[in-house]
Amino acid sequence: MISPQTQNPPTRNPSWTHSFDTPEERYLKSSLRPDFHWGFATAAAQVEGAAFTHGKGLSCWDTFCHIPGKIKDSSTNDDSCRSYDFYKQDVALMKSYGVTAYRFSLAWSRIIPLGGADDPVNEEGIKYYSDLIDELLANGITPFVTLFHWDIPQTLEDRYLGMLNQERYTPDFLRYARLCFSRFGDRIKHWITYNEPGVYTLAGYAAGVHAPGRSSFRDRNAEGDSSTEPFIVAHTELVTHGLAAKLYKQEFQPTQKGTIGITLHGNWSEPWDISDLLDVAAAERAREFEIGWFAEPLYGSGDYPASMRAQLGDRLPTFTEEEKRLVRGSSEFYGMNTYTSFFVRHRDSPPDINDHKGNIEVFDKNKSGVSRGEESDTQWLRTAPWGFRKLLRWIWNRYHIPIYMTENGTTAKGEKEPSDTILNDTHRVEFFRGYVGELAKAVKEDGVDIQSYFAWTFTDNWEWAAGYTDRFGVTYIDFDSPKKTRYPKRSAYFLQDFFSHLIAE
């Protein structure tokens, strides 16, 4: 163990110095635009705490995490990192890391506790976010705000099953969006409507391992239909994103001068056998099921990918012509969350009715036995920057829209207590060295327009169904201490040094 930091902000370990003097690193110097934004991303349900105080209503995650057996370590997010209480200290710590931007989400149920279009507003919640925004701006940090990061008010689930009921959900979400634009839009110039709508639908409605916990698997969930509900919810998210973006552009953007978009998830899929045309097609199909599911209606054809329609048929909703016009072009940038890469092989057998991946198999090694990357402390996540640049090129060549990298990061094995060895998190440092380096090469050599990079995440947090067992932070948190004591890791300062090297003056 090491002694807790008593200074605010803490001092940097003098041994944590970083030089960038390899030929490749010298070549990449100043390759990013002068106004490039970099910083960290968080989600309200994972860091705020104060789940039942200060006027906040219940979210679906406040409910879900109190159901026995749903969270790996049986923890809850009741107090998580207590960023609600310690936001000023956190902003000071971010400033000491040298960040230029911070991406965070608003808790809908903290702002409108019951969530509905006619329900009361919690002014104490409004004040908290207003104060946080002001604190960031006072410290020279640009706020990026996400309206929805998976935490729908529980009351809307109880009233009409949330996003499964597009007709009833739409006015509630638009009232929430309008309220946020009107109260914060004078200071917020970067809006994101939904974070990873695909993960929300697949984990919550296909696998049933995330809130609201619905699926076809009765040993896991009492209700749900994995073969239809994820696609219904996704359609609701796309259409209501389009409506919220239209609302912002028509009523707020002319005076507030901000931008609005959505953040999609997606990892690179590489053919298991690069010489097998069926595997090549399977990898492309996997990318379309994972990424094109949302990206095609938003940035491409205006409709779902043909490969999805061919497999899913009528289980995939149909856009009206009005919805197509509403959604296509509604996002002014491509918000991109990505973490790793996989090897993909085609399946000869017909797809299962609950398949959401394009009838493919996924592997950690390719046909030649080459691993996709070094293991982390999270089963699915391996360091694979080789696929990151391929993914950036694939998105850029397909959609030609500016990219905001809104999440990218890793866990590291053995981060159990804040020892000097744990804080010197070399695995995470090398992860960032690889991914950020590939980002810079994509800009310099491939001409990809990338305007931000947000690492996941600022502090260790409550990582959804994994509870406190997955630590993604560049800041270690002692979750057993009353004030959730923060300990900076080396990776925070590595990013500060690397971006100082990469961003042009």
Asked if 38 and 98 touch (Cβ cutoff 8 Å), the reply is no
Q: Is residue 335 part of a domain?
A: yes
Q: Could you give the number of structural domains in the chain?
A: 1
Query: What does the DSSP assignment read for 65-106?
Result: TTSTTSSTTS--SSSTT-TTTSHHHHHHHHHHHT-SEEEEE-
Give, for 297, the enclosing helix (H) or strand (E): helix 293-299
In this structure, is residue 10 part of a structural domain?
Answer: no
Cα–Cα distances (Å) from 496 to 29, 215, 440, 455, 472, in that order, read 14, 42, 15, 11, 17
Tell me the helix, strand and coil percentages in the chain, rounded to 5: 40, 15, 45
Say if 361 falls within a structural domain: yes
Residues 6 or more apart in contact with residue 400 via CB below 8 angstroms: none
CATH assignment of the domain containing 460: 3.20.20.80
Phi/psi of residue 126, nearest 5 degrees: -60, -45
pLDDT in the model for residue 6? 42
pLDDT given for residue 1 in this prediction: 47
| Residue from 224, 202, 204 nearest 291 by CA | 202
Element at 265 (helix H, strand E): strand 259-265
223: annotated active-site residue: no
Catalytic residue among 48, 229, 332, 407: 407
Tokens of 474: 């560049």
Report the relative pairing of strands 360-363 and 341-346 from DSSP bridges.
antiparallel
Residue 103 inside a domain? The answer is yes
Q: What is the pLDDT of residue 11?
A: 76
| Beta-strand relationship, 475-477 and 190-195 | unpaired
Domain limits for position 397: 23-502
What are the Cα distances from residue 226, in Å, to 238, 309, 362, 381? 19, 17, 20, 24
The catalytically annotated residue of 196, 237, 284, 323 is 196
pLDDT tens for the 505 residues of the chain, in order: 455 444 466 778 888 989 899 999 999 999 999 999 999 999 999 999 999 999 999 999 999 999 999 999 999 999 999 999 999 999 999 999 999 999 999 999 999 999 999 999 999 999 999 999 999 999 999 999 999 999 999 999 999 999 999 999 999 999 999 999 999 999 999 999 999 999 999 999 999 999 999 999 999 999 999 999 999 999 999 999 999 999 999 999 999 999 999 999 999 999 999 999 999 999 999 999 999 999 999 999 999 999 999 999 999 999 999 999 999 999 999 999 999 999 999 999 999 999 999 999 999 999 999 999 999 999 999 999 999 999 999 999 999 999 999 999 999 999 988 899 999 999 999 999 999 999 999 999 999 999 999 999 999 999 999 999 999 999 999 999 999 999 999 999 999 999 999 999 9
Dig out the tokens for 226 from the structure: 């994995």
Strand partners, 139: none
Of all helices (H) and strands (E), which one includes residue 496?
Answer: helix 490-502
What is the amino acid identity at position 373? G
Residue 133: the pLDDT is 99
pTM of the model: 0.97
* Active site (annotated) includes residue 407: yes
Say if 296 falls within a structural domain: yes
